[in-house]
Structure 1
Amino acid sequence: MKKNTRGRGAGDRKLPRIGITGSFGRGNYGDELYIKNYQYWFSPWAKLFFLAGLPKHSYLRSFKNQFVDMMDAVVLGGGDLLCPYREKIDGDFINQAYLRRPVYVSGIGVERNRPDVLDSVVKRWSKFLSHPNIRSVSNRDPGSAAWIKENMALRVPVRHHPDMVLALPLPKALRPQGKPVVGLVTRHIKSGKEYRILERAAKHLSQKGWRVRHIIGGVGAHGLKDYENAKLLDFSDKELVYTENLDDISRAIGECSLMLSMKLHTTIVSTMYGVPTISVNPVVKARAFMDSINCGHLTVPSSTDELMDILAGGIPDSPEEEVKKVKIEASEYMKDLCQLIWSDFLKYNPRLTNTLPRELITPEQRDFF
């Protein structure tokens, strides 16, 4: 790791500066929850800065480098950042400027929905992740970690843990009085045919006295795109939740008594609230999470009648104990990441204590420190 040569009296500062980066600020509900998770775990003892969207033009390189040089640490991830079969790699993912500081790659996933792998993509990621300033690498599922170990030789151990959003406290949500609510979360698709099964499920439950709530899992441009696309789900008697407030999205999920979800993080958040959840988009990352809470049988495609078969058998139970276990594991990872960043910061600030001062940690976090 490069030594701190900034010469700005960094040793006089008591709080590290952490730059967070990844697929952030683009409006996807799950990715924006990563930001809230970092705020929760880092803000009591560090100053946070947003690094995603650094200028790409070569003539602005000095501005970019100077901004990165202000950081004591860069945290990259999570989300499906590594796609082995897509030639283009987002500049917010493997930006060489990050490597000017200690980098902690956290909770990233490897897209494994297709078997093909481009050597050029593996080489570029391998070069980035093998840099001496990469301090740690972790993945949000065992399959992603195994893929990296198989395809790359890194300087640091590769760890896996449950999705970091599981370590985020959620706003309180109460089930409404009266009719139970079934939540539907869709993803952007080209054809409404993938929504036919959700329409059938909505009709089936509505006839049994349920309210139908269609929740848009995004904000900003991403949310608008999902909102426009949601019109392809044709069920006239549905209520629509479309908001720019992430906590309002979370509460809308937590108020449901059943969730039918096509997105990973609405699935994760739903289970965190104790809502029985069926994943209607069996991509690898969704299966990995549902398997981790012993709910692999509740991951179904939109092209078959499996969803209707499940509903015909009754509303599934919520795996609250299994979810509790993965929440603890995710929180333990966040604790370890906090301590690692703090310990590295001490190398340039030796007068500070070698453990995070308890007064800088929230009461909810103290069980993990």
Structure 2
Amino acid sequence: MSKPKIGLVGYFGWGNFGDELFMEAHKQFLSDDYDLEVVHDQLDQPYFSNAALNKLKDYDGFLIGGGDLVNPNAVSSLYWREEYLQKPVFVHGIGCPNLKVKQSRALDYFHNFFSSDSVKYICLRDIESKNYFDTVINPKIETVTYPDAVFAMDVPTIKRDPKNKILGVVLRSHKSLIGEYEQVRKAVDEAKSLGYQVRIIVAAFGKLGEGDLTVSKEFASTDENIIYSNDLMELCKSLGECNLVLSMKFHALVVGSMYSVPVIQLSSTQKNRNLFRYMQRPDLLGNYHDSELYRKIPPIPAPIHSLLVRKLKRDAAQGYSALIDSMNKVFYK
């Protein structure tokens, strides 16, 4: 019997660290029993060639996931297509980035989408998103919540040199950020005065990595190493070898935590606040333009507790078990 063919719907192929890790997690947990294939074939709108659109009918089902996908202000033509509802749909690990908007055309669309009998499973990545989704979207089926799917995946082992204290810095290029890393530079210089070595980690590659690399080169001083790689596991290791990380990116926080590395988040987004609340580490929530940011650099960082790390991994793996059970009920009756 051939394996069911599942179309993967997500921000895959652009080189974004978190989404490419999401893909690796899918492969680790699903590829033994399911044939996985990304559905889109273009990295610019409309994302689908005619051939790719015609191919949608050939999939046995669709798995949608990867992050802040329930946007109350817009409906993505990549993630939420009516064609997907012609087959069983499974939604895993999504988040709601804006919990304040309660009514919009996009939310009406999401309500209709998630009222379809084709939607078999819905997993939100945090309880705040679940509560909002259940109340505002009001799906037809019961939802579940598990930590971000990347927490479930296996990461390579690392060795830290006890003689060296390393600060990792993860920046991003974005139209809303116009040369505003002055306070981050001040924090990095403070870390160097406390004995940290500094490495600038480019947590992206491909199309997105080019912009992040440019920003990283502009930011780095001559005595600061830049880590750039299209190998996801090398990027994970470079984060894991740090003692402390300053990051503009959510999944640097996720991966750092998997190695017990405290990550001071430089963007106070909803998903960051939700995760730090869960981890009971409000001390790690920061902002890249905060003039007091440098004060958050400790001489000796307090690691993420190993019990919490194990719980995050276990709970995220249970999320994949729930997803697999749901898929198996459809495809392996």
Correspondent of 2:68 among 80, 83, 91: 80
Aligned counterpart, 1:340: 326
Superimposed CA distance per residue, residues 199-243 of structure 1 (whole angstroms, 9 cap, x where no aligned partner):
122212222332100001111011111111224425332100111
Q: Does 2:266 correspond to 1:280?
A: yes
Matches within 5 A, 1:206-217: 206-217=192-203
Q: TM-score, normalised by structure 2?
A: 0.91
What is the correspondence of 1:70-219 to structure 2 with a 5 Å cutoff? 70-85=58-73, 87=74, 89-112=75-98, 115-116=100-101, 119-176=104-161, 178-189=163-174, 190-193=177-180, 195-219=181-205
Q: Does 1:15 pair with 2:3?
A: yes
TM-score normalised per structure 1: 0.83
Whole-angstrom CA distance in 2 between matches of 1:306 and 1:300: 9
Q: For residue 18 of structure 1, what is the amino acid of its counterpart?
A: I
Question: What code does the residue aligned with 1:166 have?
Answer: F
Q: Structure 2: how far apart are the matches of 1:329 and 1:217?
A: 25
Change (3 A) 1:272 1:127: same
Going from structure 1 to structure 2, the CA distance change for 1:227 and 1:184 (only over 3 Å counts) comes to: same
In structure 1, what residue type is equivalent to 2:60?
Answer: D
Give the alignment partner of residue 261 of structure 1, picking from 236, 243, 247. Answer: 247
| Aligned residues of 1:166 and 1:326 also touching (Cα < 8 A) | yes
Please name the residue that 1:52 is paired with. Answer: 40
Give the stretch that moved more between structures: 15-24 or 201-210.
201-210
On the 8 A contact 2:71/2:97 being kept in 1, the answer is yes
Summarize the Cα distance change of 1:15–1:257 in structure 2 as closer, same or farther, 3 Å threshold.
same
Segments of structure 1 that go 5 or more residues without pairing to the other structure are: 1-12, 348-369
C-alpha RMSD over aligned residues = 2.2
Aligned 8 A contact 1:68 1:101 in 2: no
Q: 1:65 to 1:101 in 2, by over 3 A?
A: farther
Tell whether the 8 Å contact from 2:41 to 2:48 is kept in structure 1 after alignment: no
Please state whether the residue corresponding to 2:68 is helix, strand or coil: strand
Q: Report what 1:36 is aligned to.
A: 24
Q: Find the residue that maps to 1:82 and give its secondary structure.
A: coil
1:362 corresponds to which residue? none
- CA displacement at 1:323 relative to structure 2: 2.1
Cα separation, 2, equivalents of 1:330 and 1:27:
23
Give the aligned residue type for 1:283.
Answer: T
Distance apart, 1:197 and its partner CA = 2.4
Contact 2:266 2:286 in 1 (8 A): yes
Q: How many residues align?
A: 329
Report the CA distance shift for 1:238/1:58 in structure 2 as closer, same or farther (over 3 A).
closer
Q: Which has the larger radius of gyration?
A: 1
Instruction: Give the whole-Å Cα distance in 1 for the aligned partners of 2:15 and 2:227.
Output: 15
> Structure 1 residues 208 and 146 mapped into 2: Cα distance closer, same or farther (>3 Å)?
same
Unpaired stretches in structure 2, ≥5 consecutive residues: none
What displacement does 1:184 show? Answer: 0.4
2:118, 2:154 → 1: CA distance?
Answer: 31
The one-letter amino acid of 1:73's match is: G
Contact 2:188-2:294 within 8 A present in 1 as well: no
CA contact (8 A) 1:173 1:255 kept: yes
1:59 and 1:108 map into 2 onto residues whose CA distance is 26
What percentage of aligned pairs have identical amino acids?
26
Q: 2:310 aligns to what SS in structure 1?
A: helix
Q: Which amino acid aligns with 1:218?
A: A
For 1:20 and 1:117, locate their aligned partners in 2 and report how far apart those are by CA, in whole Å: 29
The question of whether the paired residues in 2 share the 8 Å contact of 1:254 and 1:270 is answered with yes
Q: Secondary structure at the match of 1:79?
A: coil
Deviation string 1:142-185 (CA, Å, 9 cap, x unpaired) is 11111111212221112211100001101222224642211001
**Counterpart among 227, 234, 240 of residue 241 in structure 1:** 227
Map of 2:282 onto structure 1: 296
**In structure 2, C-alpha distance between the alignment counterparts of 1:57 and 1:175, rounded to whole Å:** 42
- Residues 293 and 323 of structure 1 are in contact (CA less than 8 Å); yes or no, is this contact kept in structure 2? no
- Distance in 1 (CA, whole Å) between partners of 2:296 and 2:52 is 52
Cα deviation per residue 1:107-134 (whole Å; 9 max; x = unaligned)?
1111127x34561111122221211101
